[in-house]
């Protein structure tokens, strides 16, 4: 039994096991395998979940764990509370490591946001009411978009790439924020160390040297992009997390306080990297998006 529970927790961490099972209650429509981009002959896809009574805002859910993503992990149960709240949900599948490294994966997410914004009228949403969410590496990608999303190239050949990739709100679980200071100051886990080697394929060749890791960390660690202009961000993190240590959430909070960034941290007492109540805790994300996307205070 103990071994079984460990496997379930590991599966949740990597995004292999849905937070909940089967289909959610309530009516919604689902459009599968919408191609939002292509690279090296590979289609990048998303699924669209439209509630029966849409509120005009959208939530983009990062189908991501350990910088791996797969369409088989798209599960409507995970979006139940968003759909019940009237949010149109876009489940984003991205390129996976080790074939694609983290910066290339981040490029997929920028493209996905631009695609959604470009086709906002088709999906009945306001292009200025886009939220983003995810767990673990999905949370990392969400944070990065909340801080680095911005204007597209005005002269891009593809009109989608002319759109902004900015999101208006972020809410996510247990995201990595600083790969060079993992469990404490100086704890380098960028492709090295006990945890870093698990996801070594997510990084480019610069991890081979300390100088290269420091350069790469400046580009992939959300803490380096904190500003007062970033999208309002909510993070839920377990204070017993043994994969993405609570230190990650605390130093990010400190940095946000220093610059006056719009950030809120909720520490879940006694919770590890994943916990059974994650699905119901999503209610806090719905309230956050209601406030920052729709101006509804609860």
**Which residues have CB under 8 Å from 123's CB, separation 6+?**
48, 50, 58, 88, 116
What's the CATH number where 111 sits? 3.40.50.1820
Give the pLDDT confidence score for residue 21 in this predicted structure.
Answer: 38
Q: What is the domain extent for residue 100?
A: 2-20+27-174+229-294
* Mean pLDDT, rounded, for 161-188: 97
CA quadruple 188, 192, 196, 202: dihedral sign: positive
The whole-angstrom separation of Cα 43 and Cα 31 is 16
* Mean pLDDT, rounded, for 217-228: 97
Give the pLDDT confidence score for residue 26 in this predicted structure.
Answer: 62
The whole-angstrom separation of Cα 106 and Cα 94 is 9
**Which residues have CB under 8 Å from 254's CB, separation 6+?**
none
Q: Is residue 182 part of a domain?
A: no
Q: Is residue 125 part of a domain?
A: yes
> What whole-number percentage of the chain has pLDDT above 70?
91
Phi, psi torsion values for 224, nearest 5 degrees: -80, -5
* Mean pLDDT, rounded, for 194-223: 93
Q: Is residue 196 part of a domain?
A: no
State the CB neighbour count (10 A cutoff) for residue 208. Answer: 12
Bond preceding residue 264 cis, omega within 30 of 0: no
Which of 93-102, 271-280, 282-291 reaches the highest mean pLDDT? Answer: 282-291
State the DSSP code for 276: T
Domains held by the chain: number: 1
pTM over 0.85: yes
Q: Is residue 91 part of a domain?
A: yes
Residue 264 pLDDT greater than 90, yes or no: yes
Residue 14 pLDDT greater than 80, yes or no: no
Give the pLDDT confidence score for residue 18 in this predicted structure.
Answer: 41
Q: What is the pLDDT of residues 38-62, one digit of tens each?
A: 998 889 999 999 999 999 999 999 9
């Amino acid at each position: 039994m103990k071994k079984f529970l460990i496997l379930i927790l590991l599966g949740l961490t990597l995004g292999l096991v849905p937070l909940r099972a089967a289909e959610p209650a309530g009516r919604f429509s689902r459009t599968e395998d919408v191609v939002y981009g292509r690279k090296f002959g590979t289609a990048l896809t998303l699924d669209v979940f439209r509630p029966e009574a849409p509120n005009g805002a959208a939530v983009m859910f990062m189908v991501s764990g350990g910088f791996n993503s797969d369409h088989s992990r798209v599960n409507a149960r995970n979006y139940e509370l968003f759909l019940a709240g009237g949010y149109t949900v876009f489940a984003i599948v991205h390129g996976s490591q080790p074939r694609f490294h983290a910066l290339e994966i981040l490029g997929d997410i920028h493209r996905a946001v631009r695609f959604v914004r470009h086709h906002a009228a088709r999906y009945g949403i306001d292009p200025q009411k886009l939220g983003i969410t995810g767990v673990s590496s999905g949370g990392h990608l969400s944070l990065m978009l909340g801080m680095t999303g911005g204007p597209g190239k005005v002269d891009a050949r593809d009109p989608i790439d002319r759109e902004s990739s900015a999101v208006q709100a972020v809410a996510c679980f247990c995201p990595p924020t600083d790969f060079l200071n993992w469990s404490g100051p100086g704890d380098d886990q960028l492709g090295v160390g006990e945890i870093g080697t698990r996801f070594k394929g997510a990084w480019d060749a610069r991890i081979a040297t300390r100088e290269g890791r420091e350069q790469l960390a400046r580009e992939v660690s959300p803490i380096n992009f904190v500003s007062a202009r970033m999208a309002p961000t909510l993070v839920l993190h377990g204070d017993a997390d043994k994969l993405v240590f609570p230190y990650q959430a605390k130093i990010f909070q400190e940095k946000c306080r220093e610059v006056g960034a719009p950030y809120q941290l909720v520490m879940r007492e006694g919770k590890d990297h994943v916990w059974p109540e994650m699905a119901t805790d999503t209610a806090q994300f719905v309230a956050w998006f209601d406030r920052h996307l729709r101006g509804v205070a609860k």
